[in-house]
Amino acid sequence: MLKNSSPKRVAVYYRIPPETRIDNTQVVNEINDIKDFCRQRHWKPEHTFIDKSISGSMYKTMADYTADPKNNISVVICYTAGNNFAELGTKDNISLSEEQANKKNTKFSGGGIPYGYIVDGDGALALDTDKAGVVLEIFENKAKGYSLQQIIDTLNKRGIKSARGGLWSKPGIAFIIKNKSYTGEYQYHGSSEQREVIHKIPKIVSEQLFNKVNGQ
């Protein structure tokens, strides 16, 4: 039986600029932006580390916390990344300021919207959380050896609608499994010059999982 994937466990790190009060408007807004980012993805912040010192001493505490397997942290989010942020031993490390900058440059300009995504208020492809979970389940269960028919039967029994709003079919499941967009890169050919357009979009499945399911 297909199961809903658990929400990602998140650690948040925020370093307050020197000589800045914690109730400073910019600080409050940036911390709230991080909370909203997690809420939109149904992610669960397990611990927030706020560093008030110039030395950044809380960074080591946060790094030790995320490295401990019992805490099961898969994502670390900060607002502005430092030089050593990418070295943390988690699956994903996200700098929200970089995410926001990238988003401005990834306006969705055409092509079909893949199942699992929506076009957000900024005109970029964003995750449709519930449907993205279905996509991930399809990949994970195919990797476990489920047949297309087993996946179809489970989805249909649960009343989960396909991309077209009806019952799932083998072509529909196969189309999702073959769609490389779910690894974070959406490509299509523009209508005017048939030139290839590439959008960086939120990732639903890893390259490793995609390749395993597709026998690569």
User: What residue spans in the chain does CATH classification 3.90.1750.20 cover?
Assistant: 117-213
Q: How far apart are CA 49 and CA 66, in angstroms?
A: 11
Task: For domain 9-104, say whether CATH 3.30.70.890 is its number.
Answer: no
For the domain covering 117-213, report its CATH number. Answer: 3.90.1750.20
125-132: which pairs have CB atoms within 8 A and are 24 or more residues apart? 125/186, 125/199, 125/201, 125/202, 126/40, 126/202, 127/41, 127/202, 127/204, 129/40, 129/41, 129/42, 132/202, 132/204
Q: What is the pLDDT of residues 127-148, one digit of tens each?
A: 898 999 999 999 999 999 999 9
Query: What integer best gives the mean pLDDT of the chain?
Result: 81
**Does the pLDDT at position 196 exceed 70?**
no
Lowest mean pLDDT among 31-45, 108-122, 196-210: 108-122
For CATH 3.40.50.1390, the residue range(s) in the chain are 9-104
Q: Do the Cβ atoms of 138 and 173 come closer than 8 Å?
A: yes
Per-residue pLDDT reduced to its tens digit, 28-71: 888 888 888 888 778 888 988 888 866 677 888 888 898 898 98
More confident residue, 169 or 216: 169
Token pair recorded at residue 67? 């490295």
Q: How far is CA 154 from CA 9, 109, 142, 151, in A?
A: 27, 35, 12, 5
